[in-house]
A and B are shown apart, each in its own frame.
Chain A
Amino acid sequence: MQREAKLVQGNEAIAHGAIYAGARFYAGYPITPSSEIAEECSRLMPKVDGVYLQMEDEIASIAAIVGASLAGAKSFTATSGPGFSLMQENLGLAVMGEVPCVVINVQRSGPSTGLATKPAQSDVMQIRWGRHGDQSIIALTPATVKECFTLAVQAFNFAERFRVPVILAADEIVAHMRENIIFPDPGEVQVIDRKKPTVPPEQYKPFEPESDGIAPLAAYGSDYVYHVTSSMHGLDGYSNNDPANAQWRVAQLHRKLERYRDEIVMTKSYDTDDAEVLLIAFGATTRAARAAALEARKNGIKAGVLQLITLWPFADKEIAAHGKGAKKIVVVEMNYSGQVTGEVRRILGPEKDITLVNKYNGQIITPKDILEVLK
């Protein structure tokens, strides 16, 4: 049977991707430009034996998804700038407690309330460093409606596999865009579930990693009884103030992701093999970058695009490899500071010709804006 493509909005695709991945708990607080995700979940969750819970604020929203996850749910929330700021403290708890969950941050213009309905890509560094305490985070960023779906699934897969919160950092353009996509059938896209303990319940230690570096996670209400705490804790989940334990635990939280770095970091490249000009983009700006590169090629400029699908951990190796042969690097992003550009400079060094093409007025970056610097 031939399947029909559907005209779907990015936010809707995210909601459908999450449910495809097995998400059965959504808690959130409405905020533009992410609200359609909540609306879609409020319609779908009751029908798939899931729970939609509208919380009193974003602090409560992320708290609720952490609670639900520990009760065995694949859970998520969606928000934008101000709400994402409010979530930081409890996001830190999800890191510390190794709680799988997904947070969608549909980026909008700031600072503060800013241009509330307009796009931006200015939360790159907040996603990485927004919480107190030293920690790692995984963040993915979609450039198309199809990627909204597939990366929502991928976000859950990473969250479940590594027992971490994962950020899906969309932007207003991709989230509100409509494109034709074909929803995959069940089983067509890989879905990963968290590891459950197999030891007898009295031997279960919720923070003892197995040989793969990841500790199995039981569910409240199963035969396993366990503790999770925001405080520094030992393997048994009870608080523990021993310096040696703290030293090991903080490192463990980082190392479990460092170990799988090559699987987590995803990029796509377009016409980069012979590229003398390398455009680096992510999210919605990828689209403008690709159009600009194709146009430049018509004018004899050998341009290619490296799309960052994983924002964090950063694509150091991939940028180093692609950037080596290029004479000129152009980074395209919707923020003033060049949040990704700074990382690219760190990798390729001060001698490299690196140009930032940016906008921070709530308007989209066009291919023309990029072509200006390729002349």
Chain B
Amino acid sequence: MSHATGVGYLKDGCLPHMWCPGCGNGIALASMLRAFEELGYKKNETVVVTGIGCWGKTDDYLLTNALHTTHGRALAFASGVKAYNPKLNVVVLMGDGDSVTIGGNHFIHAARRNIDVTAIVLNNYNYGMTGGQCSGTTPSERYTSTTVYGNPERGFDICALAEVAGANYVARGTVYHGWDLKEHMKEALGNKGFSMVEVVSPCPTHYGRNNSMKQGVEMLKWLKEKAVSKEKYAQLTDPEKEAYFVIGKMVDKNEPDFSTRYEQIRARALEGGAKR
């Protein structure tokens, strides 16, 4: 049996990709394109909206429709695309800076609105493109180029944020667990309403180098060891928990998405049912 490669969505001449050796973006991209293929996505019916950052440059590799936007605002652009044409598959690629730091407001409101887009958030715990500064997900005490004495702040749990904001589907995977990652993406893309997959990914060039994991392989080993199931995580002691994180599906709901609700409101408007 042959597996989906997703290569039909990839622009010719893009390999090897532009990202650093050891970067997880290539695996994340391959997982996403395989999911596209398995879902039978048509290029003209698919719009990939990207933010700014290493992962945000992905649109240059794609043969689907694409909209490369401004830093942090990709979800707001995507909301306009989807709200006007709900038939489109709208996929939003953002890093941790884009999604929950500069763009945090759009992130929680897209989830609250339950707009039917799929956000694929590549979390490498720092701003890779600009030289490895700390972001809104950099954990406390970690080192980056702007937290050389350790990070005094705490990092967001992106999945928890998406969940409490009302997302229909939330999962976390890593680029070490590539097959599961593709499955999460596939489920997220197939789920109506706001779906979010957090992809924990290595940035050996900056985050790893600053935090005793200079080699890409070391970072993959870190993902292999520290990313655990909900059940396994529950068995850890509290001090142990700090070094580990949960992967897997967190939320899988079927609440009506924005466009479904808007059509109901539209029907009411046509019946002349304004409150005032």
Contacts and interface: CB of A to CB of B under 8 A. Distances in A.
A15 to B, nearest CB: 15
Contacts of A64: 76-77, 79-80, 83
Contacts of A24: 84
A63 B73 contact: yes
A66 B84 CA distance: 11
Interface in B54-74: 57, 59-60, 62-70, 73
B247 to A, nearest CB: 29
Interface stretch (A141-149, A191-199, A220-228, A355-363): A220-228
A161 B217 CA distance: 54
Interface string A191-234: 00000000001000000000000000001111111111111000
Contacts of A222: 44
Contacts of B109: 55-56, 60
Interface stretch (A69-77, A170-178, A338-346): A69-77
B87 interface: yes
Interface stretch (B219-227, B249-257, B261-269): B261-269
Contacts of B266: 46
A364 to B, nearest CB: 31
A236 B17 CA distance: 20
Contact of A93 (B44, B47, B70): B70
Contacts of A60: 73, 76, 79, 105-106, 109
A231 B51 CA distance: 11
Chain B interface size range: 35 or more
A95 to B, nearest CB: 12
A72 B80 contact: no
Contacts of B84: 24-25, 51, 67-68, 71-73, 75
Given A51-B83, A220-B88, A59 B65 contact: no
B85 A72 contact: yes
B68 A229 contact: yes
Contacts of B60: 238-239
A375 interface: no
A220 B76 contact: no
A47 interface: yes
A298 interface: no
**Chain A residues touching B, majority SS:** mixed
B269 A71 contact: no
A278 B80 CA distance: 46
Nearest to A97: B67
Contacts, number: 136
B270 interface: yes
A230 B43 contact: no
B67 A68 contact: no
Interface string A156-173: 000000000000000000
A71 B65 CA distance: 10
A22 to B, nearest CB: 13
Contacts of A286: none
B141 interface: no
Given A60-B73, A225-B64, A228-B68, A53 B44 contact: no
Contact of B66 (A46, A51, A63, A229): A229
B49 interface: yes
Interface in B106-126: 106, 109
A65 B69 CA distance: 13
B1 interface: no
A227 B65 contact: yes
Contacts of A220: 47, 65, 81, 85, 88
B274 interface: yes
Contacts of A68: 80-81, 83-84
Nearest to B265: A46
A274 interface: no
A3 interface: no
Given A220-B47, A220-B88, A225-B43, A230 B69 contact: yes
Contact of B68 (A90, A225, A239): A239
Given A25-B80, A46-B269, A221-B85, A57 B70 contact: no
Given A46-B266, A70-B67, A224 B44 contact: yes
B69 A93 contact: yes
A25 B82 CA distance: 12
B45 A221 contact: yes
Given A46-B266, A46-B270, A238-B60, A53 B65 contact: no
B105 A71 contact: no
Contacts of B181: none
B45 A67 contact: no
Nearest to A238: B60
Contacts of B63: 225
A135 to B, nearest CB: 15
B68 A227 contact: yes
Contacts of B82: 67
Residue of B62, B63, B68 ringed by the most chain A CB atoms within 10 A: B68
B79 A221 contact: no
B78 interface: yes
A333 to B, nearest CB: 32
Give 8 nearest A-B pairs by CB, closest first.
A67-B80, A64-B80, A63-B76, A60-B76, A229-B68, A46-B269, A68-B84, A67-B81
Given A60-B73, A75-B84, A90-B69, 8 more contacts: A46-B262, A60-B76, A64-B76, A90-B73, A201-B44, A221-B44, A221-B47, A229-B68
11 contacts: A27-B83, A46-B269, A46-B270, A51-B83, A63-B77, A64-B79, A67-B84, A71-B88, A93-B69, A220-B85, A230-B69
